[in-house]
Structure 1
Amino acid sequence: MPVRRRLRPLPLPSRRRTAATAVTAALVGGAFAGLLTVTGAPQAAEDPSHGPAKVLPAEARGKAGKPGSDKPGSGPVKPPARGTGSPVSVMQVVAHPDDDLFFMNPDVSQSLHSGSPLAAVYLTAGESDGVNARPRDARAAAPDKAGYAEARQNGIRAAYAEMATGSRTSPWDRTAIPTAGGGWAELDTLRARPQIRLVWLQIREAGAINGDRPHSLHGLWDGRITSLESQRSAGTPVTADFAYTKEQVVATVTGLLERFRPTFVRMQDPSPGTYPKSGKFRDHQDHLYGARFVQAALARYAELPGHPHVGVQNYLGYPTSALPHTLDPETADAKLRTLKTYAWLDGVHDCGPDAGCGDLKVAARPAGRGWTQTVRYARGTSTSWVQRDPAGGLHAFSVLDGRLAAWRKPADAVVWQGPELLPGTGLDSGITSVTLPGGRIAVYGTRTTLGGDAAAYRREVVTTVQTAPGAGFGPWRSLGTPERNDAEGTSDISAPAVTVAPDGRATLVLRDSHHRLTAREQRPDGGWGPWRSLGGTEVYGDPVAATDAEGRGHVFASTPTTVLAWAEQGPGGPLAGPAATGLPPTTLALSASAAPDGDGVRLWFRKPASGDLRSADFSGTGPVSPVTELAGTGVAGFGPVSGGDGLLAVRSRTGFLATAAPHGRGGARPVWTLEKFLFSGAPDAGTDGVAAIGLDGHLHWTPSPH
């Protein structure tokens, strides 16, 4: 019989204790079961006559950092008064009309409901073969690329209007604007909600997922063509054709960043990988290379003075088809309804132009290949970005403007100081941190090098370490990449996971483009050994790591059907595995925290297609078996579960941060609290409280009630 355990509060020796492998699994579920409390003010809608909307951070309690404070030692930052928080402004950039609806929703609808400004930018016209018809009717339809591009625009306008106002026919004002690249774009403004805007760059698309199409963003990025032509839609107010060089596309997107001044950018995945046998891209080439143009523009924009700090989130595209669904049925149904509106499924001609009121190609399969049941972040799922120093102070880390942003809260302080933006650019979203023996903190992440030509593009692992406990950080150090070059796998590596031996030597683990785990071990002299394969097949997402009370490191990684484990046989020894855990499928995003009884590590994850929370305790021996079900601890939503020392923190169905103790007193259902703000990446829950980075770039802090 499995051993049954009752959770009990954890003492406070450190922010996060780590631990070991193997034995018990606890499954917890029930969407929004338990009591619910909502705190924090709602995000205000924008009043066009009084400037941009202001997002209200979660209620004070020392949550907010000060944007633009880039110098260390700038003093404590007072939390904003109610109603005076910094404004959130979101900009999304996708390759085609519908990429945002398939791969970024429900985040898109949550932003629209928040009332914050949102600008959606479409790089290509999405003209395809020019046939706006269901596959069964395609042969009888005459190609009309301008008309099909217009129909897709009509579908997007209807979908956004419906999400924002409830009416798909809510009118838009359409104008032509010059771009910084020397061409023209169409700017559409929703009349009822003028903070919602759509921008159509109307560049020619590739017209094939993997086909050799030099006249495309791919060919332009690689230098196979010197310029790429426009494809204007039938009803656009843009009256003249144009063409862009590679430099002009970057300048155009940079100019839009300057125009909209976002605090948060949503974009597609610039390194989705290739199929090893065929070498074909796992995602559409327009998605991949469009995202690289956005990366280049963000890097240029980061060097310009005076703009708000910018956070970035990348979204996985076509590869989500092969992975477990992440959304609960209610959220998936809402997403599907929006796609049906875009697809003009009812055939009612209420949009005016003759081109059509939506995308009939999508009407044949509005759910895509399971895409409406899923949203998945390509980066930024770590829940280990807050650490405690030996003096009891807390340190939090994120990425803003492609640089490491650091916040600090001294042990005797109520509010956080920061952010300080450290030197060094090109950081990808999503970092992890560890505390070394002696108290110094090390931060690990990945960095993208764009280079002057296509062959120079690469992603690599980098690290920086405090010079002394509680002090500043030294220079960034490159730890390289297990990838031979970008062409073979599009530099597709995960975020790193790190274990630390008792003598301070680190082991760095990540997933490579072949979907195996690879590792580098630190030598006693501080140098690093070569990359070596840890094996495993069909590993997706980011691995997570923990160290047990004996000093042995453990690593966990998800596949579409289970979770695999690797373990050191002795403290500081090499990782061995993979070993089967017997766990059921998860939504891939994992997090690890200390088990409440101090024996082993607790692994947190979600049940596919439900949002329900689950956990598995690994204490060293025996097969995985279910134990006490923690009634009412689930909360619908998606993404990682941060199981802190006495707290849980998750993204709820609304997109707001939800926090709770993992159990109620006397077996009572837990009380979930919603902090009413939208945040990026994953929360980090620990003994002291829960940290999350808002879409405003602020650190939001919810202290522990203990």
Structure 2
Amino acid sequence: MEHDDLSGAEGDNDDAMKAARRVRVTRRGLIIGGLVAAVGLGGGALLARQLRRAGPPTGVWTPLRPIPAPASPAGVSPAAEAPGVNARATIWAHADDDIIFANPELSEAIGSGVVVRAVYVTAGDAGKGLEYAKDREAGIRAAYDLMRGSTAPWDERTLTLLSGARVTRFVPTDEPRLSITVLRLPDGGLNAKGFTATGNAGLTQLINGEVSELAPVDGAPSYDLPRLTATLAELLGAAQPDRVSTNVPHESAYARGDHPDHSCVGSLVRATAPVVGIPPEAVSYYLGYPSQDQPVNVTGPALDAKVDVYRTYAADDPVVRCADSATCLAQPGFGEWLRRTYPKTEPELRLS
């Protein structure tokens, strides 16, 4: 999910926090100490107000145009990767959507040796720039290290796709069955209006034709809507997945109150997956913010492991750092989401 900022003071724990950010844990896990909870820098007034009220974040729902399906990719993509049995492609709005909303299933897949190809569409930058986005990317790689039980380094490479997009891919040097690909498009914000630093535009404006293109925060070539849908179709085809996981689409009743970027990405995947031969029954759509309205279904050791993965990620995200499991679970919104996971099939989406 995208994190706006919340105000706080680091105090005497600053050195311990910096040290904790360098921790990379094994499957058994290490306690990440000396962190303060929920420290942020600067703006993000909407989320900050909600957190001061101790209430969970709520996204603004806005109408979204239907998304045209792209043409089928032609040729062998530079993003092509070796397929695997029960391979998964996971496409999310923000780095951490998967570990919050799609765990413990993700951990179970990674732990069992399944091929997992993750894609994060936005930078989750909250208008704070590339360095914050890279912090979040470092956090998600650390979380994957915990889930896979290795701290071997990740190889970073830049790929120019058939679509003309330039993306960044990370692959563990010891486990090519896993990869993380980032597009780094600008964050749309909880209000679907983007941030001043990135032109007050995000996926909502691109899909609705209010802007003709979006510029990634890393300076890569801009995306118009045809390039974005073609890129997602190309990455899905390159992964050759048996299953796809993503956010709930905008057309679903479960999108009401969710982050606008979540529902945009869900709709983009829903429109592009059939182009590369992925049938509707192979796609799982995970509830985001509205999962908090469902019964708790992650408890006991499964919850402990899920929170450890989240806390490992959060050590690199200055907005949501939490010193221990209890602090993580006390965070407004996050504590409720971590206790739940709700995948939906196409027939279960309650489509409008």
With normalisation by structure 1, the TM-score equals 0.35
Name the CA distance, whole Å, in 1 between partners of 2:253 and 2:243.
Answer: 28
The answer to whether the 8 Å contact 1:203/1:228 transfers is yes
CA distance in 1, matches of 2:284, 2:187: 23
2:264 aligned residue (279, 289, 293): 289
Q: Hey, what does 1:231 align to over in structure 2?
A: 217
Displacement after TM superposition at 1:273 (Å)? 5.9
**What do the CA deviations read for 1:341-369 (whole angstroms, capped 9, x no partner)?**
0011xxxxxxxxxxxxx112121463414
Cα distance in 2 for residues equivalent to 1:125 and 1:359: 13
Name the structure 2 match of 1:321. Answer: 292
Structure 1 residue 493 corresponds to structure 2 residue 350: yes
Q: What SS is found at the alignment partner of 2:328?
A: coil
* Residue pairs, 1:461-500, within 5 angstroms: 493=350
Relative distance call for 1:191 and 1:228 in structure 2 (3 A) is same
Q: Distance in 2 between matches of 1:161 and 1:106?
A: 15
CA distance in 1 between counterparts of 2:208 and 2:317 reads: 30
Give the secondary structure class of the aligned counterpart of 1:244: coil
1:262/1:308 contact within 8 Å kept: no
Question: Aligned partner of 2:217: which letter?
Answer: Q
Aligned to 2:163: 181
Q: Distance in 2 between matches of 1:310 and 1:155?
A: 31
Q: Which residue of 1 aligns with 2:328?
A: 366
Amino acid at match of 2:126: S
Distance 1:289 1:308 in 2: 20
Contact 1:272/1:283, CA 8 A, preserved across alignment: no
Counterpart of 1:340 in 2: which secondary structure?
helix
Aligned-pair CA distance for 1:210: 2.4
Matched, 1:149 2:130: no
Higher strand share: 1
Deviations 1:36-91 (A, max 9, x none): xxxxxxxxxxxxxxx654xxxxxxxxxxxxxxxxxxxxxxxxxxxxxxxxx21100
In structure 2, what is the Cα distance between the partners aligned to 1:342 and 1:194?
A: 21
1:218 to 195, 204, 211: 204
Whether the 8 Å CA contact 2:101–2:288 is kept in 1: the answer is yes
Q: In the aligned structure 2, how far is the partner of 1:298 from the partner of 1:330?
A: 34
What aligned pairs does 1:492-641 form with structure 2 within 5 A after superposition? 493=350
Of 239, 248, 273, 1:260 maps to 239
Higher relative contact order (CA 8 A, sep 6+): 2
Distance in 2 between the 1:192 and 1:308 partners? Answer: 32
Distance 1:274 1:88 in 2: 29
Note if 1:195 corresponds to 2:197. no
Name 1:116's counterpart in structure 2: 114
Q: Calculate the TM-score normalised by the size of structure 2.
A: 0.68
How many residues get paired?
258
Structure 1: unaligned runs, 5 residues or longer: 1-50, 54-86, 131-144, 233-239, 345-357, 381-427, 431-491, 495-512, 514-706
Q: Which of these residues, 375, 380, 401, is aligned with residue 341 of structure 2?
A: 375
1:309 Cα offset (Å) = 9.6
CA contact (8 A) 1:90 1:118 kept: yes
Residue in 1 that maps onto 2:63: none
Post-superposition shift, 1:372?
1.3
* Structure whose alpha-carbon radius of gyration is higher: 1
Q: Distance in 2 between matches of 1:272 and 1:210?
A: 18
SS at match of 2:201: coil
Q: Report the secondary structure of 1:243's partner residue.
A: coil
Q: Which 4+ residue blocks in structure 1 deviate beyond 2 angstroms?
A: 210-214, 271-275, 307-310, 364-367
Give the whole-Å Cα distance in 2 for the aligned partners of 1:224 and 1:178. Answer: 27
Percent identity of paired positions between Structure 1 and Structure 2: 29
Structure 1 or 2: larger helix share?
2
Q: Is 2:251–2:267's contact at 8 Å kept on the other side of the alignment?
A: no
Per the alignment, in what secondary structure is the counterpart of residue 231 of structure 1? coil
Aligned-partner residue type, residue 210 of structure 1: N
What is the CA–CA distance in structure 2 between the aligned matches of 1:264 and 1:95, rounded to whole Å?
18
Deviation per residue, 1:186-210 (Å, 9 max, x gap): 111111211010001111111x212
Distance in 1 (alpha carbons) for counterparts of 2:173 and 2:280: 29
Hey, what does 2:41 align to over in structure 1?
none
Matched-pair contact (CA < 8 Å) for 1:181–1:244? no
CA shift, 1:328, in A, is 2.2
Measured in 1, the distance between the counterparts of 2:144 and 2:222 equals 28
Displacement of 1:181 = 2.6
Distance 1:99 1:308 in 2: 23
Change (3 A) 1:296 1:97: same
Q: Which residue of 1 aligns with 2:146?
A: 162
Q: Distance in 2 between matches of 1:107 and 1:331?
A: 10
Give the RMSD, CA atoms, in angstroms: 2.4
Alignment of 1:274-313 (within 5 A): 281-302=256-277, 311-313=282-284
Q: Could you tell me which runs of 5 or more consecutive residues in structure 2 were left unpaired when the two chains were aligned.
A: 1-81, 195-199
Contact 1:321 1:370 in 2 (8 A): yes
